[in-house]
Structure 1
Amino acid sequence: MGRRIFFFIIAITTLFFSCAKHIEEPDLLKMALSSDNSKIRKVMDSLAQHELQIRYTQIDRIKDSIIFTDYNFQVNDSNYFYPASTVKILTAVLAIEKLNEMDSLDLYTQFYVEGDSLETTFANEISKVFAVSDNDANNRLLEFLGQDRINQSLKDKDIAPVRISHRLSTENAFEVTTRPLIIYLNDTTTAWLKPSVNKPPAPLALKRVKKGTAYYEDNTLINEPFDFSLKNYFPISAQNEVLKRIVFPEQFPKNERFRLSPDQQSFLLKAMSDLPKNIGFDEMEYYDGYCKFFMYGDTRDTIPEYIKIYNKVGNAYGTITDCAYIIDHKNDVEFMLTATLIANNNGVFNDDSYEYKETGLPFLAQLGREIYNLEIVKKQRK
């Protein structure tokens, strides 16, 4: 009898400690979205209107291991949203990867696109893509890559679903033939990089690819939903996967990583976190939060040196998005956050009447602050 009691006690003790180890962490995303803050409530109280999708990634470091825990709110790859400038993270990282395949080129090689008056370097264009979200810089990198290469490279790394079909804010957005690049091999010698011919995009078979009630085209109001089915597609899950591979490449098999050298990864991370003033832009116009929507998008406050935000934002057609890795070196907290929402109350597209400042930016900024503050509290309790 005594032996049975002994083994019963051992079993109960083992079960207790096993359960204790598996106590679930609080869902900080759920807590953040339950905030009484008016910037949060304005969106949460009218969810259907804003098509909100969020992924928060909790990051735990245990000895030499890094553990990601994803928390989702309404994330659905089948529900389309326009990714806008968030796609620029793809042209940036894949341009660096392609440079590795070309012995005579590097980040600081000078070039220009045929028909373009600007002579530049790959490093300059990548820096502008992140610091001020420059559309022309993105398009130059796309001419270097081509749509097919971008899409195939992502597929090879098991990053899906995603489809890049066009340039940004230019008349030749959907041109399938890229323009050649003229490369300076030295002060007196140039080389011509031949253009690529890419497949035209097929319509996306997704929900919500037609949005709103009307749109403007050539100053004419068209009273029917705006069709996004041929446009770029870069959902929350894919954005999160790209960011994880850039910041924490060692967490993925080699065939799923971006092929960057340590120096190239350092350059890319610096470009992603740089503020406009760091690369020579006027800080009165391009304030710290200009391309840092989480935490700082609704303020002109200076971002403290100990907080680094590695991210890519996008806003167009009333849709506003940020995908970020945020780390506070002073308080030793880090997390990833990706979110998108639409702020287009009148349902009309191309009328330049969107509620970015009234709704979109305040929500994303406050969401970032809510998660950040909850992370601080969680850290203090450990």
Structure 2
Amino acid sequence: MRTTLEKVLKNLLYSFVLSGLLSGCASTSPETDPLKKVLSSNDIRIRKVMDDPSLHEVQIRFTRINRDNDSVRFEDYDFGVDSQQYFYPASTVKFPIAVLAMEKINRNKYLNLDTRFYVEGDSVETTFGREITKIFAISDNNANNRLLEFLGQDAINAGFRKKNIGPARISHRLSVPEADEVTTRPLVIYLNDSTTTLLPNSVNSSPKPLNLEGIKKGKGYYEGDSLIEGSFDFSRKNYYPVTSQHGVLKRIIFPEMYAEKERFDLSPVQRSFLLNAMEVVPREVGYSTEEYYDSYGKFFIYGDSKEPIPAHISIYNKVGYAYGTLTDCAYIK
């Protein structure tokens, strides 16, 4: 376990946020804080960050999973974790959006993962299952945005509160014009090959500015082709801190550890589909390895390599990378 954790951090400790569950057996040897031990390493790749961790805004939560027969016990170790210290979550928000979309599908007897649909004004006809697969395999922004149109921002944020996830706020789509439009677009749903129905749009609440530390970042940014001098204001952007990311992941991997009202309402088939989508690498679902190598969406352990990930390593995760922040929330076994 210590060797694996050290390899993870040596490969990835640059300027980012980490959240990880590492599976193992119950330890018989006492150990105080494995994360602290690794971060005190003299390895130059760790030292150049740890000599000034505030500069890199490092936040790490490492959970060791101790198994003893049928029982599971978690040991959490944190470094710099602070939900009041803002970082841009980027594509990590696609994970809860995918899960909440599956919940909504589960509540509608006419929908399933194979149901075909398209967003009004969109030229792509697809299925819910296909979009969820794309979210995890290649972190597809359009797939995420289609599911956001299906859910609406208010329903997503209500889902966080209902499951007692912790602080989080989804306010916008990703990498499209008018990303923060509060009115979603209708979906055309295929009930069968010849019958469609219209899922109407929803009008959502305008996001209130976040009052968090580090909400303004940088010295300048581009707006179109123009360079704007001054810090970028993230106060109306998405917000999904380490503690909440960790909570969503644990509810998917270990639902039995939570009260029923705090679990996601997924059928066994849906959960199996989701876990498979989280684990697969792009080549396993038909993408070219030249562009989408195994570690394209898996930064832990193999993030600095384009070589195939060994078959005996399973990584269930979602990454994010934007505005200078790299994030990975993963369960590794």
What TM-score do you get using the length of structure 2 for normalisation?
0.90
1:177 to 166, 177, 183: 183
Alignment partner, residue 196 of structure 1: 202
C-alpha distance in 2 between matches for 1:218 and 1:193: 34
2:192 to 186, 190, 198: 186
Deviations 1:322-375 (A, max 9, x none): 000000xxxxxxxxxxxxxxxxxxxxxxxxxxxxxxxxxxxxxxxxxxxxxxxx
Q: Tell me how far 1:61 sits from its aligned partner.
A: 1.1
Report the more deviating stretch, 296-305 or 51-60: 296-305
Q: Tell me how far 1:23 sits from its aligned partner.
A: 8.2
Alignment partner, residue 320 of structure 2: 314
| Residue 95 in structure 1 maps to residue 101 in structure 2 | yes
Name the SS for the 2:328 alignment partner.
Answer: strand
1:151 to 153, 157, 182: 157
C-alpha distance in 1 between matches for 2:76 and 2:268: 27
The code of the aligned residue for 1:226 comes to: F
Alignment partner, residue 364 of structure 1: none
| Residue 272 in structure 1 maps to residue 283 in structure 2 | no
Deviations 1:216-235 (A, max 9, x none): 21222222111000000000
C-alpha distance in 1 between matches for 2:88 and 2:44: 26
Alignment partner, residue 6 of structure 2: none
| Residue 80 in structure 1 maps to residue 119 in structure 2 | no
| Residue 283 in structure 1 maps to residue 289 in structure 2 | yes
The code of the aligned residue for 1:323 comes to: C
C-alpha distance in 2 between matches for 1:116 and 1:162: 28
C-alpha distance in 2 between matches for 1:292 and 1:211: 26
| Residue 250 in structure 1 maps to residue 256 in structure 2 | yes
With a CA cutoff of 8 Å and minimum separation of 6, indicate the structure with the bigger relative contact order.
Answer: 2
Name the SS for the 2:314 alignment partner.
Answer: strand
Name the SS for the 1:215 alignment partner.
Answer: strand
Deviations 1:187-230 (A, max 9, x none): 10001001111000000011100011221212222221110000
Alignment partner, residue 165 of structure 1: 171
C-alpha distance in 1 between matches for 2:38 and 2:278: 25
C-alpha distance in 2 between matches for 1:110 and 1:214: 43
Q: Tell me how far 1:22 sits from its aligned partner.
A: 11
Which one has the largest radius of gyration?
A: 1
Q: Tell me how far 1:162 sits from its aligned partner.
A: 0.3
| Residue 262 in structure 1 maps to residue 271 in structure 2 | no
Deviations 1:214-261 (A, max 9, x none): 212122222211100000000000000000001000100000000001
C-alpha distance in 2 between matches for 1:122 and 1:35: 45
Deviations 1:129-161 (A, max 9, x none): 001000000000000000000000110110110
C-alpha distance in 1 between matches for 2:30 and 2:80: 21
Aligned identity (percent) is 60
What TM-score do you get using the length of structure 1 for normalisation?
0.79
The equivalences for 1:11-26 within 5 A come to: 25-26=31-32
Contiguous gaps of at least 5 residues in structure 2: 1-26
2:69 to 46, 50, 63: 63
Q: 1:296 to 1:23 in 2, by over 3 A?
A: closer
The code of the aligned residue for 1:88 comes to: K
The code of the aligned residue for 2:167 comes to: P
| Count of residue pairs the alignment pairs up | 307
C-alpha distance in 2 between matches for 1:48 and 1:251: 34
Q: Tell me how far 1:24 sits from its aligned partner.
A: 5.1
Q: Tell me how far 1:77 sits from its aligned partner.
A: 0.5
| Residue 120 in structure 1 maps to residue 108 in structure 2 | no
Alignment partner, residue 108 of structure 1: 114
Name the SS for the 1:162 alignment partner.
Answer: coil
C-alpha distance in 1 between matches for 2:30 and 2:61: 18
C-alpha distance in 2 between matches for 1:36 and 1:131: 35
Name the SS for the 1:35 alignment partner.
Answer: coil
C-alpha distance in 1 between matches for 2:302 and 2:182: 38
The code of the aligned residue for 1:66 comes to: V
Contiguous gaps of at least 5 residues in structure 1: 1-20, 328-382
Q: Tell me how far 1:122 sits from its aligned partner.
A: 0.4
**Larger helix percent:** 1
C-alpha distance in 2 between matches for 1:65 and 1:321: 30
